[in-house]
Amino acid sequence: MNILLTGGSGYIGSHVAVSLAEKGYGAVLLDNLTNSTADVVSKIEEITKQRLALVVADVRDTATVRAALRAHDVSAVIHLAGLKAVGDSIEKPIEYYANNVQGTISLLQAMQAESVKMLIFSGSATVYGLPQYLPLDEHHPTGATNPYGRSKLQVEEILRDLVRSDSNWRVASLRYFNPVGAHESMRIGEWPRSSPTNLLPIIMQVATGRLSELQVFGNDYETIDGTGVRDYIHVSDLAEGHVATLDYLHQNSGWHTFNLGTGKGYSVFEVLGAFERVSGRKIPYKVSQRRPGDVAACYANPAQALAKLNWQAQRDLVEMCSSAWGFAQSDCVK
């Protein structure tokens, strides 16, 4: 059974492709390569020992997406394509809505036309806005504080309307918490093409000497040590969550939301300490002002994913840091 992965050559998509192959699914990648490179295909092939197709196209090119669905006899789509930097989204909102919202509409038009009605969407914990309680379950009220978050919420609303209009659709939004780390082979991982803004990629830049120090955004939060707490999840666990969701959608129609997180939060200093132990490197840091828009703590209640998908994260913070570090030192990173 073939699954189309929009944004499939990106960080998360490449790991999902590996997990799909491990479970006997065929993956077809579709990506416009704005934030990834085509050489990821050979890396995935090296890991899975299977051939992989990459369609270089924009998800907004409805005709090409239709042709790809037909040509590869696709039965479900995992929609990861999109832009994801919160700061950029405030500066370039139209680009974000065009890629993330218009891109999804174009994809849905292609899927509808080809009668492919099973979809997993890359959602985000950002749709919970400012946490009113912790851990965050799927019933927590939603809200957004920036165009990126609003684009994710708008897509969820569009998907909900679609499912209401036609009961043949099977759609899940997976609300990712903080994906980090790399595949155990260290052939694929996260290495942003532009300056990173997320914690682990920045730590990697400091550890490899590309940046001189980490700025810790605030140490006066009401958390264990004053720094921000997040639910970091190993990208391979996250990827396996997609396969579990696919299995679930084969049994269940309608609209579904699932948190993909570990349920455990770590502070910036805890992540830093774990990375230093794993790598044997000292990471210089300076405490600076809080970053606007940041919350003190954000972590998941992942109980629904366990109950319904029979999925839970398996890998710990040490594995997250050691795989990220292994990838940062590999010849895959230039």
Please tell me the count of residues contacting ligand UFG according to CB under 6 A.
21
User: Minimum distance from CB of 100 to ligand UFG (Å)?
Assistant: 12
Structure tokens at 211: 């940046």
The stretch near ligand UFG (CB under 6 A) out of 40-48, 72-80, 120-128, 235-243 is 120-128
* Residue pair 136/82 in contact by the 8 Å Cβ criterion: no
User: Binding marks (x or -) toward ligand NAD, 166..185, rule CB under 6 A?
Assistant: ----------x-xx------
Q: List the single partner that 147 binds among ligand NAD, ligand UFG, none, CB under 5 to 8 Å by kind.
A: none
d(CA 323, CA 274): 12
Q: List the single partner that 99 binds among ligand NAD, ligand UFG, none, CB under 5 to 8 Å by kind.
A: ligand NAD
Minimum CB distance to ligand UFG smaller for 26 or for 147:
147
d(CA 111, CA 119): 9
Minimum CB distance to ligand NAD smaller for 114 or for 253:
114
Please tell me the count of residues contacting ligand NAD according to CB under 6 A.
28
The residue assigned the tokens 């594995």 is 319
Q: List the single partner that 13 binds among ligand NAD, ligand UFG, none, CB under 5 to 8 Å by kind.
A: ligand NAD
The stretch near ligand UFG (CB under 6 A) out of 26-34, 104-112, 153-161, 198-206 is 198-206
237 sits near ligand NAD (criterion: CB under 6 A)? no
* Residue pair 129/113 in contact by the 8 Å Cβ criterion: no
216 sits near ligand UFG (criterion: CB under 6 A)? yes
The stretch near ligand UFG (CB under 6 A) out of 2-10, 56-64, 163-171, 174-182 is 174-182
The residue assigned the tokens 């912790």 is 134
| DSSP state string for 271-316 | HHHHHHHHH-----EEEEPPPTT--SEE-B--HHIIIII-------
**Closest chain position to ligand NAD (CB):** 10
Detail the DSSP E strand segments found in the chain: 2-6, 26-31, 53-56, 74-79, 118-124, 170-176, 178-180, 214-217, 229-230, 232-234, 254-260, 266-267, 285-288, 297-298
* Residue pair 80/8 in contact by the 8 Å Cβ criterion: yes
Catalytic, 299? Answer: no
Minimum CB distance to ligand UFG smaller for 21 or for 200:
200
- What's the half-sphere exposure (Cβ side, CA atoms, 13 Å) at 111? 28
The stretch near ligand UFG (CB under 6 A) out of 90-98, 131-139, 159-167, 193-201 is 193-201
d(CA 84, CA 136): 21
Q: List the single partner that 202 binds among ligand UFG, ligand NAD, none, CB under 5 to 8 Å by kind.
A: ligand UFG
| Contact pick of 25, 27, 36, 300 for ligand NAD (by CB under 6 A) | 36
Helix 199-207 and helix 268-279, axial crossing angle in degrees, nearest 10: 40
125 sits near ligand UFG (criterion: CB under 6 A)? yes
Minimum CB distance to ligand NAD smaller for 232 or for 284:
232
Q: List the single partner that 86 binds among ligand UFG, ligand NAD, none, CB under 5 to 8 Å by kind.
A: ligand UFG
Q: Would you give the DSSP letter of residue 143?
A: B
- What's the half-sphere exposure (Cβ side, CA atoms, 13 Å) at 330? 18
Minimum CB distance to ligand NAD smaller for 36 or for 322:
36
Give me the residues that bind ligand UFG (CB under 6 A), please. Answer: 84, 86, 124-126, 176-178, 197-199, 202, 214-217, 228, 230, 268, 291, 294
Q: Which residues are catalytic?
A: 148
